[in-house]
Every structure is written in C-alpha cells, then in structure tokens.
Structure 1
C-alpha cells in the first residue's frame, strides 16, 4: 500500500468540491430523482421476478445504466490504462464492470433483511461544481436494525447523472478496488489481473476487502476522509 493519501484522493477532491461549491439547479431529473428511480425499479423487479437469478440479472442491467463503468475502470487501472489498446480497454471495462456491479449489489443485498421489504431512505442531496458533481446521501436499514450510510458521488453525463463512486460508512468502493488492483499488479502483471477477472477470483469485492489505509508521515494510520465526519469503518462481510 502507498503511504500517502493517494488511495482516497479522488473521493477527497470530489467531496471538497461539493462542500465548497454553491448549489445549482438542474433542468433535467436531479441526481436524487435518478437514484430514487433506480431503487423503485429494483424493488419492482424483486417483487415481480419469478426467480432470484432473473431478478439479479435485471437489477444488474439497471445498475449498469446508472454507474459510470468505463470511468471507474479507467480510474482503478491508472496509470496502466494509458498503455492499453482499444480492444484491451473494452475487455477490461467489461470484466471489471461485472466485478464492480456484482460487488455493489452483493454489498447492498448483504445489508438488507430478507423477511421484510427493503428500507432505503434518500436523506440529502448536494449539487456543486457548476452543476456537474453531486452527492446523494442515503440510509439503508440493515438486518440488525442499524442504519448504514451509503453516499453516492454522481457526475453529470449529458442529460443524465452517473454514479462515480459509492462511499459506505466512509469507505470508498472504487478506492478499495483501486488498492486491490494495484496490489495484484505489483505481485503479478496486467495479464494476471485479467486472468483473475475472467476466472471470477479478481481482487475480490467488498466482502473480502478491508478499508484502504493511508498513513501519516509519522507512520500512524490516518483516518479515511468521511463524507459526514463519521468515523471510518471496514466494509462488512455480506
């Protein structure tokens, strides 16, 4: 692991922009409305699908439309991304996209109780950077009754908003994957990373991930920069 704040730089920058920028109104659907639409459609799929596998497939397709998968693939692989051919980039986007969406949905599914309808509350929205970046705060009522914070960093893409990152109780999903990809590349190679993605064993999802740890100059662990000044936590196992 690198001993600086590089693992969390992108999230820190975006959150900083959001906190300093003045709110702006969007003419199209707001980030909150777009995220709410995804949750409503996913809930409908869960209630109407005849098989669990069918529901999982349909919800993953909905998530693929919501997430900026190409952008996430590029960020987790930088700086190696620039050396890839067009064909290699397309393959990595496809393989990593499956890993990203599967990991996110497994994380959400692991929090939700199975004996009652999902309780996901949208509790806030901030739009800044000239209306190009947004932070949508949500809460999930977990199995044990506790509220788990899911914050969605979203960026404007034409008339739509795409999920740039998901921060779960202060832990960035994208930065976790970036740390894991970097570790695989240090110990193996890009070909080895792709082979692991193909086999389904690549750099795990949130279920096998610890929070990336940055350190101060003195060598002590530095806190992960949270969205709501909450103490950092590890991503729990679904």
Structure 2
C-alpha cells in the first residue's frame, strides 16, 4: 500500500489535530484526546482559506504546532527500521529519526491542502486505568467513497499519550516502511538509508517550492 495516496491525505489531516496543551494531554484519555482535538482542528481547517489554498508557511505552522509534539518519532523510526536499528550508532539513530520525521511531516503538509468534506466516526475504545498502550479506532467517511479505517496506537508516558504507529486501512505505517528501509540498509548500510531518506526530503522540498 502506498501511503502517499488518498488514505494518507485523510490520515494526515487527523494527525494534525492531535496536539493539545501538554497538561490537558496528560489528563485526557487517549480516545477523548483524539476525538476532541480532531473535531476542533477540523473546524480550523474548514475556515482557514490559506491552508485550503496551499500556503506552505501556514501549513508548516499547523503541522509544527499540532503534529510534532504529540508523536514519538524516535519510537516510530525504531519500529520502521526494525532489527537494523540496533546496529546504528547514536549519531546515526539521531539522523535517522530526524530524516524520517522530516519525510512524514513534509508528506503530511503536502496532503493537508486536499482535505475537503470528510467526516470522522470515532469508534468505542475500551481500556483500563492501568493500561499504558491503547488502540483508538476511527473511520473516515466521504460521499461517494468507501469508509477508510484509521487506527491510532498510543502509549502513555510521563508527558501524556503519544502516537507511535498509525494503521490505515489495516496497514501499519511503520511496517509499511520497514521493507524499503531494510532494502536500503542491505544495499548501502545505515548510512545508505540515511542518504535515501534525505534524498526523498530534498525531492519533496523541491516539489513544494515548485507548487
């Protein structure tokens, strides 16, 4: 499954709504967090003509404010790289995390402008007070199209709930990247994977500048 297609367009918009204040995030359950903040941000994007018009600065501001603080990108990168993560030095791990985060954020920024009239259905979430890992299920609905399931995997830390994986239409985001990452490592080692991610980021940046 290619995550640079319509499901990602829908997913990335939801992702943009997942960052409330740190204190509120720590107090809210993961299901309430996803529901309340997503609904709030939906209203913002519907009313923001700059985002709808593709203003790159406004989109970056939204992504920086709403996405980055609430995702555990290091854990996402570790899961996507898989066993090869252990062979990377601390410096290489930091570069991998930074490059993967940049790739995801730039992809989400490009896709944000394509939000139109989707609605979100939030499925019931069952978890106990002692649970540290929870799956929050949602479904994206759009007229004339089949609903798309988007499930968030969240883990509780001292900083509150953070997303470490997203499952779109039954496919894990981090697992989706794992095979291509492994291929890059086999052909060029950890440095080869870093170079590949950085090249993708340069291509996305050039695309944004042309648009």
Q: Which sections of structure 1, spanning at least 5 residues, go unmatched? A: 1-26, 205-238
What are the equivalent positions in structure 2 for 1:56-95 lying under 5 Å apart? 56-61=59-64, 62-95=66-99
- Check 1:129–1:36 CA distance in 2 against 1; reply closer, same or farther (3 A cut): closer
How many equivalent pairs are there?
A: 174
What is the match of residue 141 of structure 1? 141
- Check 1:143–1:192 CA distance in 2 against 1; reply closer, same or farther (3 A cut): farther
Q: Alpha-carbon deviation of 1:30?
A: 0.5
Deviations 1:169-203, CA, capped at 9 Å, x for gaps: 2111110011221122223322221111111169x
Q: Alpha-carbon deviation of 1:132?
A: 0.3
Q: Equivalents in 1 of 2:107, 2:94: separation in Å? A: 20
Structure 1 length as normaliser, TM-score?
A: 0.62
Q: Alpha-carbon deviation of 1:164?
A: 1.8
What are the equivalent positions in structure 2 for 1:1-238 lying under 5 Å apart? 28-46=27-45, 47-48=47-48, 50-51=50-51, 52=54, 53-61=56-64, 62-103=66-107, 112=115, 114=116, 116=117, 118-127=118-127, 130-142=130-142, 144-200=144-200
Judge conservation of contact 2:84–2:182 (CA < 8 Å) in 1. Answer: no
Q: Alpha-carbon deviation of 1:36?
A: 2.4
What is the match of residue 22 of structure 1? none
Judge conservation of contact 1:38–1:63 (CA < 8 Å) in 2. Answer: no
Q: CA RMSD in A?
A: 3.0
Judge conservation of contact 1:28–1:159 (CA < 8 Å) in 2. Answer: no
